[in-house]
Structure 1
Amino acid sequence: MSGSISAASVEETLKDFWATRPRRPHDGRKIAGVAAGIAQRYQIDPVIVRVAFVAMALCNGAGVLIYLLGWLLLAQADDEVSAAEALLGRGRSSTPTALTVLLGLAVVPATGFFVDGGFTMVGGVLLSVGAIYLLHRGRGQLNRPEPAVAFGAGAYGAEQGVGVGDGSGGKVSTEEQTTERVTPPAWDPLGAAPFAWDLPEPGRPPEPVAASPAPVVARRPGSRVGLATFGASLVVLAGSLVASSYSDWFHAQHVLGLLVAVLGAGMVLGSLRGNGGRGLIWLVVPLSVVGVVLTSVDFDVDAKQMGSTRDKPAAVADVKDRYTASVGEVELDLTALPNSGSVTTAVEVGLGSARVRVPADADVTVNCRTDLGSVRCLGRESDGEGRHEEVTDHGTDGPGGLEVVLDVRTDLGEVEVSRG
């Protein structure tokens, strides 16, 4: 169906991307030419590609892993094959063997970071693959390499055949020429035009062309890659359950990350080999959604609640030790407290915002952090992943007076500490 996206179309698009994948140019590169090659292949601004790599690098280094793989798997403009393929003896590459080995070794810690980074990096890699798929689907017809120089063809694998009329010296030998006609045809009984005797008789009906047999549609064999990948995911799941008894690392988020990584690798391998693995998408999508939810929201916060919490205590004794919300916002106003004594409290929000106002002349020591979001902490501001600010401020009157110690944090959202 036109315009629809099916598992078969995804597989065909990824296979076509691999067959016509970009080449790394010598001009316009900043490091290895991966971003410049993608920009040239799809005729887009290379700045956009570089910004995308930087954004993916913030997903626990997913952009770094993708760039290293591009360096290994994309050939330079004048090379026969990529550096990784040259290492396997499939052609010539100008990348030194030592550098290729070092790049391969660099992928190993990057992949380990992929596992240690949890689901954030898994999501970054899946987002990168999805972006490549959409880019090739929308602009893959632009600037396509010639078949003779496309990856996987020709000198990059194409067979060299002998053209029609080729032979020794490019000419047909005398023995191979057809014997000349000596009897005039019916349309030239006087033999006046022997140079045209090889033309067909006028009015002669064309020779019937035999009808070609109907094509036989071969039945697609069962997906061995899909079955093997599903089995590998079950082994990983069983191993993770056993390992969880010995290590705290194997909690739900990391186990889901491992499963999605295995299933995603199986889908890529199945697409490249052309023998299935498309059905794994029905496992990858729901596991990804569950993993993102588990990673974004902290379900271990004490006194979980939904909605908003607001408090404005008037005495030091009225300040609670902890203010929490699983989803929503917490607003704590300490400006009504007297200018003496000491207050220590924490504000924790899973998904939402945490805002605290402190007196203008209080001595404040505050620890602000968010796993993903923004921090506004007594004049210090930052946005992004893993933001953390520690501030000690004595207020407008200098040291002395009310002492306030705060720990304000969110898993996903906004943290703000300001003076009243």
Structure 2
Amino acid sequence: MCAAGRRSRLDDVSGNVTAAGVEETLKDFWASRPRRPHRGRKIAGVAEGIAERYRIDPVIVRVAFVAMALCNGAGVFIYLLGWLGLPQEDDEVSPVEALIGQGRSSTPIPLTVLLCLALFPATGFFFDGGFTMVAGVLLSVGAVYLLHLNRGAVNRPAPITTTSSAEQVTEMGQEKTDTPPAWDPLGAAPFAWDLPEPGQAVAPAPPPAPVRRYRKRKSPVTGITLGLSLMVVATAVITGRGETWFTPLHTLGAVLGVMGVGLLVGAFTRGGRGLIGLVVPLSLVGVLGTVVNLADLNGNGRVGDLNPRPTSIAEVDSEYVLKAGSIQLDLTGLPNAGQVETEVRSVVGTLQVTVPRTADVEVRCEADLGSVQCLGQESNGTDAQVETKDVGTDGPGGLKILLHVRNGVGDVEVKRG
């Protein structure tokens, strides 16, 4: 029993030492973590920084990242963490630390926010990737841990400290000093004439008053608001699979609501100005999303220009579709008899259809946001619509055209040729 007791105590001591060693190694890694250099980088300098810190070939690190990326995106997830957590070589802190006001980083705040948002899809891969993804992440973390454990003392980066110039005490706007100037080495300048009377005790000079340095405190409103916005996006990503409400547009509205509250609080606390650069473009995207059905961007069609000129009814397609661009459909070359039905549609762009002067045309023109000019009738603004029938210059009879022209954002025009 005594031997068993001693063995148990030794196991406890060994376990505590091991835990302490792991903790100290992790703390030392964070204190002397690699810095992303400017030279030699391919993307953000994560691989180059790790290789330079531990004196290994950067090609090996890049190959390791590519290999881990094949494990259902584990390498991408680790690289994004390195981009956010490793400071650049001239920066005080990493981008994610600068986001919460811990210091200065040259990485713009909008880019840091986008990188944080990119982590959520990678985290989704982490949860859905199964054993391969989890194993890839654990292998990457373990490799970095062992690398620092064995080569942590190699090429340790010097800490970057911020220094501010000492403020000097001035009197009447002039700098006060007791050192004679170079042009008066004998001290004949007027300030050297202030000598005590013979026999008069010289009082010791009072100590200089301490100079107070007031450091402007950064408002935490921006960091807190961005953190809450990221939580909203994370909630939408995690719960959006089973909830139909968490559409991209609704999520964007919730994020803008959080940022609006942050701007309101910042108006009273003199902070939150960094949110303006995000609120404006996100608001424009939100307005565009409420006007245009952005789901059409995932549908059929391409980006570019279409200029079809069919000369027979068989050559007329049932639809002409673009995601973005210009469509100019010329139907003036069709014969004077028969019937044609087609649809012209785009998400963003310009749509123009030219019909023969004598054709009987039934047309419906629509634009979610833009201008509609349809056979002499016009409508502008949001939800612009024109529906009309026109038998042409020769009256009823002859070629009949059934036409539907719809645009998301842009102009729609149907005219006679």
Common fold: TM-score over 0.5: no
Which is helix-richer, 1 or 2?
2
Q: Larger Cα Rg: Structure 1 or Structure 2?
A: 2
Higher relative contact order, chain-length normalized (CA < 8 Å, sep 6+): 1
TM-score normalized with structure 2 length: 0.43
TM-score normalized with structure 1 length: 0.43
